[in-house]
């Protein structure tokens, strides 16, 4: 699996304090803390989330599916 990630040129991000801190400011749209962490990470770093989850798409983050 790691080789596929490298071939696809994905980057695995660590969980850092600024992502967790940004979760505090998110509206409580999604109840899943991991999905809230994904949204706060995308918001903090200006990333796009690839998801079909309609709740994540309600956050002020870029998303695609």
Which residue in this structure is represented by tokens 């962490």?
37
Choose among 45, 50, 42: nearest CA to 59.
42
Q: Beta strands of the chain (E only): which ranges?
A: 48-50, 62-64
- The pTM assigned to this predicted structure is 0.83
**pLDDT digits 0-9 by tens, 19-43:** 999 999 999 999 999 999 999 999 9
> Which pLDDT value is given to residue 2?
80
Question: How open is the CA angle 15-16-22, to the nearest 5 degrees?
Answer: 100
């Amino acid at each position: 699996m790691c080789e596929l990630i490298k071939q696809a040129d994905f980057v695995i991000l660590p969980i850092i304090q600024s992502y967790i801190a940004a979760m505090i400011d998110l509206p409580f749209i999604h109840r899943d803390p991991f999905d809230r962490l994904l949204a706060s990470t995308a918001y903090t770093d200006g990333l796009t989330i690839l998801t079909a989850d309609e709740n994540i798409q309600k956050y002020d983050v870029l998303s695609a599916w």
